[in-house]
Amino acid sequence: MQDYTILVNKEHLLSSDYVPENLVITDNNENNFHNYKDASLKPMVSADIMPYLEAMQNAALYAGLRRIIVDSGYRPYEYQKVIFDKFVAEVGLEEAKKAVALPGSSEHQTGLAFDIAYMDNGVYIENTSDSDPEIKWLKENAHKFGFILRYPLGKEEITGYKYERWHYRFVGVEMATILYDAGITLDEYYERVEQENHSRGR
């Protein structure tokens, strides 16, 4: 069984050959990173999280919001390398590190993370804003379905990445609720666990 709470960041890497076993295409919309490598690539996530994603999508629709869709899902190690190298060429290494994960450090490789977009009357909308009612709704409700805003505003020094209102990660309802109620990131949670274990002499 896949570990939904796995910590993936700049210090905790996935192997270059790690591929989730049960990936599924979320819909037929284009992956927003298709232009980096493969025009036929569709957004995918782990099949395990699809029921939670669909429940969240339906709840948002019921609340009168636009359909929230996956704009960019699973990315293989080599695909992430293509994206990262392109950003380096465009903005330089240091700025690229703040905006794009190094190969092996991207949550997208787990199949548990995705960037969101909207579908509005058949129109695919990938640009988001903090003023969007969907963004506000997700911040307050995503945890009920097991998802967390992975790179929140004000936590840049902790996560190592710029604020990304569009990036959500599945960790399970229990963990997502713990993090939401405590107002902490997944990185902070594991840091606290490590500190507690250290104080107990483990």
Residues with catalytic function: 164
Encoded tokens for 197: 């274990």
Beta strands in 95-137 (DSSP E): 113-120, 123-125
Please, are residues 89 and 54 in contact by the beta-carbon 8 Å criterion? Answer: no
d(CA 164, CA 3): 23
CA distances from 152 to 66, 132, 188 (A): 22, 16, 12
The number of CA neighbours under 13 Å toward the Cβ of 177 is 5
Provide the 8-state DSSP code for 73.
-
Q: Report CA 104 to chain centroid distance, whole Å.
A: 14
Tally Cβ neighbours within 10 Å of residue 27: 14
Nearest to 106 by CA among 74, 64, 129: 74
CA-CA-CA-CA torsion sign (75, 191, 149, 129): negative
Alpha-carbon 134 to chain mean position: 16
